[in-house]
C-alpha cells in the first residue's frame, strides 16, 4: 500500500508557507508602537501603553456574514477584509476605547494563495485605517468542511479604555443631541435579505447599474471605519452606538440609561439609492430593523458641543434625547 500525504488529503502545507511569505509585508505595514516581535511566533505580543491611569482591555469579535457569498461569486476579495476589521473596531469605540491590535481567522476548503492574499491586504488596510496592529492570525485549510471556492472569516480586536469611561450611560442627559455618522452603504449586515432580493428575485447581472454605479460595487462597498473621527472628537462624544444588525431602533438604546429615550426624525436621515431600491420589496418597518439606512454610527453629544463636532466631521443632526422609558422612537 502506497503512503498517503497530507496534500493527498487536501491540505497543502507548502501553499500555506507561500501564503505566509506573501502577507509578511502586509502584516508589518500595520505595526504600531506597542507591537513586540513579528509574524511567525506562536502568539502575538503587544505592550500596553503606559498613559492610562486605570486601563481596562476591551475585546470584540465578528465576521462578514453572507456578504462573503458576493465576494466569492464576483471574485472581489480586496474589501471584505476591511469589513472584517470595521465590524470589530467600531464596536470597541462604543465603550470609549482605542483599538490596539487585531487577529483574523481564515478558513477554506482549498487555499487559493492569490485570493487569500487579497483578503489579508484588505485586513491590513482596515487595521491602518483603525490605527491598530495586525499581530496574528490563523489560516485553516479544511477540505471536508468547505467546498472548493468557499471560505469564511472571523476577526478579533482588542482595545483599551479607562475603567471609569467604559459605561457611557451615566454621561447622557435629557436634551442631548443625536448625531448621525454616514455609512458607506449597507456595511456588513442584512446580506441574506440583500442576496434574496437582488439575486434570487431580480437575478441582477454584474454590470447592472444603480445611480450610475455598478450594483455589485455598491453592495461590496466596505464598511466605514470610524476610529479616526471618533478619537479626534472623543472629548465631545458622550456615547457612540454602532448601527449594525437591528438598525438604529435596536442598537441606539444599548447606550442609553433606563429613564431616557431617543427620538429620531426619519426625514432627517440622509439615505442612499441602494436603500430606496431595497425598499421597493421590503416594508419600511423591516428596513429600519435590518439595515443602517445610511447611518453607520450614532454619536450623542451635549447641545453646546454640537457645532464643534459638525465642523470637524461629516456628522449631522437627526434627533435628541428626552425623558421616557428606555427605547428609540422613529418619528
Go through the domains of the chain in sequence order and give each one's CATH number.
13-165 (3.30.1330.10), 169-330 (3.90.650.10)
Collapsing DSSP to helix, strand or coil, 111 comes out as: coil
pLDDT value of position 10: 66
The three cell numbers of residue 91 are 464596536
Of 144, 172, 310, the C-alpha closest to 241 is 172
pLDDT value of position 20: 84
pLDDT in tens, 171-212: 999 999 999 999 999 999 999 999 999 999 888 888 899 988
- Output the pTM of the full model: 0.94
Beta strand 45-46 pairing with 133-141: unpaired
Of 186, 178, 217, 208, the C-alpha closest to 303 is 178
Task: Place 5 in a pLDDT band, splitting at 50, 70 and 90.
Answer: low
| Cα angle, residue 14 at apex, residues 10 and 18 outer, rounded to 5° | 125
pLDDT value of position 7: 72
pLDDT at residue 223 greater than cutoff 60: yes
Between the CA of residue 100 and those of 23, 118, 119, 194, what are the distances in Å?
20, 23, 21, 33
Between the CA of residue 229 and those of 58, 232, 234, 235, 309, what are the distances in Å?
19, 5, 8, 12, 10
The three cell numbers of residue 111 are 487555499
Between CA 112 and CA 53 the distance in angstroms is 46
- Average confidence score pLDDT of the chain: 93
Beta bridge partners of 295: 182
Chain mean position to CA 159? 15
E-strand ranges in 69-184 read 98-108, 133-141, 151-162, 177-182
pLDDT in tens, 77-89: 999 999 999 999 9
Between the CA of residue 54 and those of 50, 236, 239, 300, what are the distances in Å?
10, 21, 20, 24
The three cell numbers of residue 194 are 440583500
| Residues 231-243, mean pLDDT to the nearest whole number | 97
Amino acid at each position: 500500500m502506497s503512503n498517503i500525504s497530507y496534500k493527498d488529503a487536501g491540505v497543502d502545507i507548502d501553499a500555506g508557507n507561500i501564503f505566509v511569505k506573501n502577507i509578511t509585508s502586509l502584516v508589518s505595514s500595520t505595526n504600531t508602537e506597542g507591537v513586540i516581535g513579528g509574524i511567525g511566533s506562536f502568539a502575538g505580543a503587544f505592550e500596553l501603553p503606559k498613559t492610562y491611569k486605570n486601563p481596562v482591555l476591551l475585546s470584540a469579535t465578528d465576521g462578514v456574514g453572507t456578504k462573503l457569498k458576493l465576494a466569492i461569486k464576483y471574485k472581489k476579495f480586496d474589501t471584505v477584509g476591511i469589513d472584517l476589521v470595521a465590524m470589530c473596531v467600531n464596536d470597541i469605540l462604543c465603550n470609549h476605547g482605542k483599538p490596539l491590535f487585531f487577529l483574523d481567522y481564515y478558513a477554506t476548503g482549498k487555499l487559493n494563495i492569490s485570493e487569500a492574499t487579497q483578503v489579508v491586504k484588505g485586513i491590513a488596510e482596515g487595521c491602518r485605517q483603525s490605527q491598530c496592529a495586525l499581530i496574528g492570525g490563523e489560516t485553516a485549510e479544511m477540505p471536508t468542511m468547505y467546498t472548493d471556492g468557499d471560505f469564511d472569516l472571523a476577526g478579533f480586536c482588542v482595545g483599551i479604555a479607562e475603567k471609569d469611561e467604559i459605561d457611557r450611560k451615566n454621561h447622557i442627559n435629557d436634551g442631548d443631541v443625536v448625531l448621525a455618522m454616514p455609512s458607506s452603504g449597507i456595511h456588513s449586515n442584512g446580506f441574506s435579505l440583500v442576496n434574496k432580493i437582488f439575486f434570487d428575485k431580480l437575478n441582477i447581472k454584474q454590470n447592472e447599474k444603480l445611480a450610475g454605479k455598478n450594483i455589485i460595487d455598491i453592495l461590496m462597498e466596505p464598511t466605514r471605519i470610524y476610529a479616526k473621527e471618533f478619537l479626534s472628537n472623543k472629548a465631545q462624544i458622550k456615547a457612540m452606538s454602532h448601527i449594525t444588525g437591528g438598525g438604529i431602533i435596536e442598537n441606539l438604546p444599548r447606550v442609553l440609561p433606563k429613564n431616557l429615550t431617543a427620538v429620531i426624525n426619519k426625514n432627517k436621515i440622509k439615505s442612499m439609492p441602494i436603500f430606496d431600491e431595497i425598499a421597493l420589496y421590503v416594508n419600511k418597518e423591516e428596513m429600519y430593523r435590518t439595515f443602517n439606512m445610511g447611518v453607520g454610527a450614532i454619536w450623542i453629544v451635549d447641545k453646546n458641543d454640537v457645532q464643534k463636532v459638525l465642523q470637524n466631521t461629516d456628522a449631522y443632526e437627526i434627533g435628541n434625547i428626552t425623558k421616557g422609558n428606555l427605547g428609540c422612537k422613529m418619528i
